[in-house]
Amino acid sequence: MKKVYLSVIGFTLICRLSGYSQAKEDTSRNKTPFSLYSPVGYDTSDYRPKNLHIDEVNLFSSYYKQNGDHSAVTGGIGTEKVTDISNGLDLKLVWLGNNKNKNTLSLGLGFDYHTSASSKYVTTTGLGKPDGTRIYPSFDWTLENAKTGNTFGIGTYYSGEYNYKSLGADVHFSIKTNDKMGEFGAKFQGYFDQVTMIYPSEFVASLSPPAPTGAVYVTTASGNTVLSSGGSSSPGLPTSPRNTYTAAFSYSQIINSRLQIEFLIDGVAQNGYLGLPFHRVFFSNTKDTIEKLPSQRFKLPLGFRANYFLGDNIILRSYYRYYLDSWGSRSNTANLEVAYKISPFLSISPFYRYYTQTAAKYFAPYEAHSPTDQYYTSNYEYSKFNSQFFGVGFRIAPPKGVFGWQGLHELELRYGHYSTTEDLKSDVVTVSLGFK
């Protein structure tokens, strides 16, 4: 289920980046050829707000739908049908501090609602079907030095849903070169999660791994046997921690008036309970259990981005990433987006992404694991597969505002279709509105 959320959020972020990348040309103030995400290099270094004010308000809404037949909840077989509606608000506040240094406060609030056909196989506390809602507020403060352009900031995040709670924080900074043509960036993040230990009722008598210490079983009014926190007067479930630590580094360089490149490297370390207790596994002897994965994982993504400005109307945005982890997975991602400006205020951006992945060493399909395996999962997120993601975006930003509304400075609509060699297919539509 996490994979669905990442797809929706990732697509939404693509929408926002593309929205910012179409800034209106103003050659009288160009100090640099163009930014990494901007085809025309709209420079705001001369923009000097004085008092606290709302700089931007961005609204987005997306609809996501997927289908497949390799659900991890039912051991690698069964429907993966999911629908998700996501809505969000981003608010940016700006003011000048000491020495005219620019302060930016970004506040975000997102809300998702999803339905999943496989959720009926997840045993809960007898209070009904799993709640398919998720809320995720965020906060970020960034200080930009007026003389050097260097930045420093901190952020915090929260995400909560019926089986997962996550609290995160980060510290980030960037340093520009003396000629302002290059920039080094770093971000250090920590996510501290609690996974609700929802076990299928047929396994509570002989769990592998066993239920957490102190957990007891209760029988609900519906007749289901579930785990309950010891001594609690109301049904509840124990939780298990999952911690993620990330160090992300980047360096971008303006090569000339047409080309800008960026190098990216991340180091990700995870520890704690890294599976989900309601993901089933069926062994080769037909017996079944729940997935069991190591309690540690290390990931290393390496990326390269290049944007090339062909002229007045076309920008090429390319991206490549190589990924490896300690569970044996290797992957390659190649992405290309072509932004074409039909008119000064209307653009179209077709995109295509190709992805290939090797299987983790702990994955096997339905009834393929040996009972003697130390670790096992039939979650196809860890399988070998190739995928394609393609679509198109439209953006309109007239000088007098969208539909004549001066405050609504941009509207963007994007559609994407995703498919894998394991027959998972999905579609996502996102609408975003930008106000100034």
Q: Where are the domains of the chain?
A: 2-204+242-404+414-435
How confident is the model at residue 400, as a pLDDT?
85
How confident is the model at residue 280, as a pLDDT?
92
What's the average model confidence in pLDDT over 271-290? 92
242 band by pLDDT with thresholds 50, 70 and 90: very high
60: part of which helix (H) or strand (E)?
strand 53-67
Instruction: Say if CB 169 and CB 249 are below 8 A apart.
Output: no
Residues near 426 by beta carbon (within 8 Å), at least 6 away in sequence = 7, 64, 65, 66, 67, 417, 418, 419
235 pLDDT more than 80? no
30 band by pLDDT with thresholds 50, 70 and 90: very low
153 pLDDT more than 60? yes
Whole-number Å distance between alpha carbons of 381 and 217: 31
Phi, psi of 371 (to 5 degrees): -60, -15
How confident is the model at residue 224, as a pLDDT?
40
CATH of 2-204+242-404+414-435, one of 3.30.420.40, 2.40.160.40, 1.20.1740.10, 3.10.20.600: 2.40.160.40
Mean pLDDT, the chain, integer = 83
Residues near 98 by beta carbon (within 8 Å), at least 6 away in sequence = none
Whole-number Å distance between alpha carbons of 111 and 317: 30
Instruction: Say if CB 244 and CB 269 are below 8 A apart.
Output: yes
* Number of alpha carbons in the 13 Å side-chain half-sphere of residue 147: 2
Q: Which has more pLDDT, 255 or 125?
A: 255
Percent of the chain clearing pLDDT 90 (strictly above) = 67
DSSP code of 118?
G
Shortest CA distance to 37 belongs to which of 318, 335, 225, 429? 318
Residues 22, 259, 339, CA angle at the centre, nearest 5°? 30
How confident is the model at residue 50, as a pLDDT?
67
Q: Which has more pLDDT, 20 or 390?
A: 390
Whole-number Å distance between alpha carbons of 395 and 413: 7
4 pLDDT more than 80? no
The whole-model pTM stands at 0.81
Q: Which has more pLDDT, 417 or 32?
A: 417
Ranges 152-156, 272-276, 397-401: which has the least confidence: 397-401
How confident is the model at residue 319, as a pLDDT?
98
151 pLDDT more than 70? yes
Strand ranges inside 70-163, DSSP E:
82-96, 102-116, 133-144, 151-161
